[in-house]
Structure 1
């Protein structure tokens, strides 16, 4: 058994097909099949069930996937640590919620790139649950997510606290409020515009509405922040987003921000990563840069 065999095994498990794995890895199918057979011979047990639609992991195969991920990550981490120096360099893959990537990270990433040009940074966006899963499976070096995250294998650093607000179009009286009870009774007549399941802001919104016994008229899922804001502006419905998003990427005259109960309206953006992972200089400097830029932004806002 060698490292390349495990890479092939993990790719086949991910793709559910020997042919698709061979295509991704740039191998001929016979090479992939040979490496899988060598692993099965080594462990003296089948790792996949073969069928006409592809392959499916056996129980032994499922157990091996977890170890393969850990082994491959340790090899990757060893390479990064051994070659790491005081000057951040190399490649890092970071995840972020789309709202954070759109509003909080651009200035910080610009500063980071100018200071550490030898670092190649890949940014992937998605909802919190998806990003956490990718961090756990070693697909990301870390991610900016809505916290706190409670998982025994994850460490986290608080980055910034966001205020969530309900947004509606200014042109219509979409939402009526009772300041004492936060009674948004007219929400029952509105469509909620949200990101897909796994979004922490959507979860907060659903928890709040459930506590108020409010059943929304309809829920529509969107894949981008711009689509949600555009549809709210057009009067299609309402949404729950960080106030910073509305202040930064849309004119204040186009939308109305409504405060919601504090237990649902505050969320901390955290940077999460696996506890056993040694943070490289590049990742450490990225976190420091993001914190510094956001602190400066907050200080500037307070002076205005």
Structure 2
């Protein structure tokens, strides 16, 4: 089997179409079609079937996909070790949520880049759910995730540290002076929450549904920094990690409400796909995270 043909096959599976795969690989669509036809001829089977405008893997295609990932990873490993036998090199794609990025990543990335200057480290910021999908598609190597303990069967998960969460408001907010705050106290309040898909927002909204809480308003803000500033200005109650607002809590510009409702078991976790080849660059980053963050 030709490795280029296998890479094209896997890219089609990840992108969902021949056209998208051609764009990603910078091939003409006829090249993609020809490579798949050649692969099917060599294996004497069909790998895809078309139903309307959708393409789906055949039973043979599903078998090949399981093995293709491992074959391509082994090829990458061999190439990396031959070209750079002395240490980590190449590209490394890391995903991290903004709430971890500002407080945790700068020192970690600085140390990694100084120690392994041959690695081209690329950082991406998004929601934790999108990171998990990116790991499955192979567009991310490693993701740092804030969530309840994950049990995804296709991902390898390393727990790094617990991340305490708080309900926060400006000092002048009525609930900031309350001796205790329970879920029912949030009824009729203005809430400031992160964007949809954020793992801890999903947990918080699940709690609101459980207690049938109807807030007065809910404002979605994708930036943690903007969330902090809106909360400081008294525009509502927000739900963030204590680490993300440590300076504001110390300065007194935000107050952690005395929450007596359900606890939120959030951990910082490092994840990568179970079938992913652990390149020297990945191994070095994982080791550094364990040394500095656990």
Alignment TM class, shorter chain as reference: 0.7 to 0.9
2:55 is matched with: 57
1:185 aligned counterpart, secondary structure: helix
Distance 2:219 2:54 in 1: 34
Q: Verify the 8 A CA contact 2:165 2:264 in the aligned structure 1.
A: yes
Please list the CA deviations of residues 84-112 of structure 1 after superposition, one character each: whole Å capped at 9, or x if unmatched.
64533332222222211122111111122
Structure 1 residues 250 and 200, CA, compared in 2 at 3 Å: closer, same or farther?
same
Mind listing any 5+ residue stretches in structure 1 that lack a counterpart? 296-304
Does the 8 Å contact 1:69/1:138 carry over to 2? no
Could you say if the C-alpha distance between residues 13 and 246 of structure 1 is closer, same or farther in structure 2, counting changes exceeding 3 Å? same
| Residue 167 of structure 2: aligned partner | 166
Kindly indicate whether residue 238 of structure 2 is the aligned counterpart of residue 239 of structure 1.
yes
- 1:3-52 per-position Cα deviation (integer Å, ceiling 9, x unaligned): 2123223334444554443333222232222223333444433614286x
- TM-score normalised over the length of structure 2: 0.81
77 and 191 in structure 1: CA distance in 2 versus 1, 3 angstrom threshold? farther
Q: CA deviation at 1:211?
A: 4.6
Match for residue 198 of structure 1?
Answer: 197
For 1:1-20, list aligned pairs within 5 A.
Answer: 1-20=1-20
Where do 1:92-241 residues align within 5 Å?
Answer: 92-146=92-146, 147-173=148-174, 177-179=178-180, 182-241=181-240
Alignment partners' CA distance in 2, 1:254 and 1:152: 42
Alpha carbons 1:103, 1:249 under 8 Å: kept? no
| Aligned equivalent of 1:28 | 28
Kindly tell me the number of residue pairs found equivalent between the two proteins: 290
Q: Is the 8 A contact 1:12 1:21 kept in 2?
A: yes
> C-alpha root-mean-square deviation of aligned residues, in Å?
3.3
Task: Call closer, same or farther: CA 1:228–1:44 in 2, change over 3 Å.
Answer: same
Instruction: Return the offset for 1:56.
Output: 1.9
User: What is the CA-CA distance between 1:276 and the residue it aligns to?
Assistant: 5.1
Query: Which whole-Å CA distance do the structure 2 matches of 1:159 and 1:205 have between them?
Result: 22
- The unaligned stretches of length 5 or more in structure 2 are none
